[in-house]
Structure 1
Amino acid sequence: MEESTKSTKRPVNRRSLIKGGLLAGGAATLGVGLLGKTTPAFAQSTGGSLNKGDIAILRFLAAAEFIESDLWVQYAELGGIGDQLPVEVNPNQSMNAYQSALSNLDSDGPQYITSNTIDEISHAAFINAYLESKGADPINLDQFRTLQGSTATGAQNIGRLTNLLHLNVDTSWFVRYRSATNPDFNATFPQAINITNRPAIPATDADFEGASHIQAIANTAAFHFGSIEQGGSSLYAAMSKKVSSAEVLEITLGIGGDEIAHFLEWVDFAGNGVQAPVAPVTDKGLTFPNFFTNPPNPLLQPSLIFPVPCSFIHQDLPKVSVIRPIADRNAGAMAAVAGLTASGLFLGQSKEFFSTVQALAAEADAAIRQV
């Protein structure tokens, strides 16, 4: 693999990237304490060194967390609760139409969004600081923060890594976790809802208008939340199988467990968008039906939020409830990049960006557990 690729702007070292660099822009209002103070505290050596594979795994996970942080900051700016008090504590506080639509799915929805955002920022900051503590270069994707985000009231006028305005949301996860089959045994799943080229946040203030329109945007976001966090759950499980250092395994299991906690909440959240009183809702050709409408389909049951037991390890063993997939081809670093790219999340990004994340992913997937 080549050590670097050339850019018309400046060379990009795909193995080391530029030293330093924590989440820009959105960190000014969310998690600033984590980002402003974590690195110096962890920069001192914690002892020992990491092998090449563990460094590659952590470097890719740091990049993934910066990407996650970027998209969650955009959600939090428009749909989160920020530093405001909950409405039930401060009844004089008003919400925008997007926050209200998200609250239709769960009254605590804006708080959950802000909490999820702070969690992802902390993951990125911690992994980068840990890399530095071991003498490894941290990840910096700041040069790729070039995408135009929302211009709606509440959104910051800053460059973004990710595009939430033209998403193709993979909703097959909703079916997968209600099925007794496992994609690691070549099972396939249909889309629960076909969400193609749709915004998951208001693009402009005009999107706040129309009850069905803003609810469809919120419902799109809800299914995207689940898609992102189930991907993170599978990614950390896949990477944990490759880790050599017990301390790095502690990191992947610890942060991976938090991703699973996120996923479980968004399973329930998305399910509320496809049952009464929210559903059915239709906007510009996209319909979120009531999945409880007869005849009921057990693979679309909204109130079923825990994973159904499925095949695992060997098909002749009893079925068991697990996170799936975890095989590299379905859940590894390259699979994660491919899935995010297909979703439209990187629409408008540069060739240098794709070269960078793909190189990081390939090195992470190539890691081999050493005992």
Structure 2
Amino acid sequence: MDLGGFRTLQGTQVTDIPGIASRKRLTNLMTLSVDTSFWSRYRDDKRNPDLGDTNFKQAIPALFAGKFTAIPRNNGELMIGSTVTSVDTHAQAVANTAGFHFAFIEQGGSSLYPSLAQRVTSLEVLRILLSIGPTETAHFQIWHDKAGNYVRPLTDLSQPGLVFPEINVGDDLLQTNLVMPEPTFFLSNTRFPPCSIIRTTNTVGAAMGAGNALTADGLFDGQPPQFFEFLKDLAHEADEAEREI
């Protein structure tokens, strides 16, 4: 499968790194709406999206509500130490956005691989999914931890609406040091006692859900309609797979 034909998006115009500004991209990291509800979902000990629970609290509501960059867009956004603080406020906001976006991507992978593994017949494909999936979870935990350690609450005046609040405010669903998944209900509310799990792992519509989440995230902003049709067809085929014993 070759996606090279869709590698047409303009990336960062930073010229301090040779070749970066001229390179075309498949994804867009400059207009992101980052869903940070994973933060409370993994801290909630009474709800599980696999059991129909929804509307988990956003850790950074502004990131989900707007469209912001997770990379410096030009040389001017690389300013470090240009204020009385050690890092320019805008540069720090870009780094914060990147940290939460990394965590968002990796929590999605943590769910997608076990969800798809339930549908495969080929032992080789199963091995691929079971080999890559746990590394996604390892990445998620690292970025989950790093994202919560941003230097200080801040407001990025150069990106209207972008506010990183103090999230350690007495709400256990937002507490930054709770990076291990809290035990919650699994498979049913009564069949098993609460346990620490990946959530979600529901296999129904998993691939389409992942594609929709990445699209809503803004990761493919600027791609033509043909790209989204291709993505939808690919996800549909994955979701139609049935495990044969």
Under a length normalisation based on structure 1, what TM-score does the superposition of the two structures give?
A: 0.59
Which deviations, in whole Å up to 9, do the C-alpha atoms of 1:83-124 show, x marking residues without a partner? xxxxxxxxxxxxxxxxxxxxxxxxxxxxxxxxxxxxxxxxxx
* Residue of structure 2 aligned with 1:326, choices 197, 201, 206: 201
AA aligned opposite 2:165? P
CA deviations 1:112-164 (Å, max 9, x no partner) are xxxxxxxxxxxxxxxxxxxxxxxxxxx11000000001001323411101000
Alignment of 1:11-160 (within 5 A): 139-152=1-14, 153-154=16-17, 155-160=20-25
CA distance in 2, matches of 1:290, 1:264: 20
Aligned amino acid, residue 215 of structure 1:
Q
Letter matched to residue 308 of structure 1: E
Match of 1:281 in 2: 154
1:304 to 165, 178, 195: 178
How far does the alpha carbon of each residue in 1:218-239 deviate from its partner, in whole angstroms, 9 at most, with x for none? Answer: 0000000000000011110110
4+ residue runs of structure 1 moved beyond 4 angstroms? none
Q: Contact (CA 8 Å) 1:146, 1:160: kept in 2 or not?
A: yes
Could you give the per-residue CA deviations for residues 238-277 of structure 1, whole angstroms, max 9, x where no partner exists?
A: 100101122221111111111111111111011102xxxx
Distance 1:147 1:292 in 2: 38
2:39 and 2:57 map into 1 onto residues whose CA distance is: 9
Letter in 1 for 2:201: I
Query: CA separation in 2, counterparts of 1:323 and 1:216?
Result: 29
Q: Are residues 1:291 and 2:129 paired?
A: no
User: Following TM superposition, by how much is the alpha carbon of 1:281 offset from its aligned partner in structure 2, in angstroms?
Assistant: 1.6
For the aligned residue pairs, the C-alpha RMSD in angstroms reads 1.3
Deviation of 1:329 (Å): 4.9
Q: Does 2:213 match 1:339?
A: yes
Higher relative contact order at CA 8 Å, sep ≥6: structure 1 or structure 2?
2
Distance 1:249 1:329, change over 3 A: closer
For 1:52, the equivalent position in structure 2 comes to none
Confirm or deny that 1:362 pairs with 2:236: yes
Partners in 1 of 2:163 and 2:216 — Cα distance? 22
Return the alpha-carbon distance in structure 2 between the equivalents of residues 190 and 306 of structure 1. Answer: 17
Quote how far apart the aligned CAs of 1:186 are: 1.5
Q: Is the 8 A contact 1:237 1:256 kept in 2?
A: yes
Q: Which amino acid aligns with 1:161?
A: L
Structure-2-length-normalised TM-score: 0.89
Return the letter of the residue paired with 1:261.
A
The code of the aligned residue for 2:13 comes to T
CA–CA distance in structure 1, aligned partners of residues 217 and 204 of structure 2: 17
Q: Give the corresponding residue for 2:146.
A: 269
Q: 1:223 aligns with which of 54, 76, 100?
A: 100
2:101 is paired with a residue whose SS is helix
Q: Quick check: 1:329–1:335 contact (8 Å CA) kept in 2?
A: no
CA distance in 2, matches of 1:156, 1:323: 38
Unmatched runs of 5 consecutive residues or more in structure 2: 83-87
Bigger fraction of residues in helix: 1
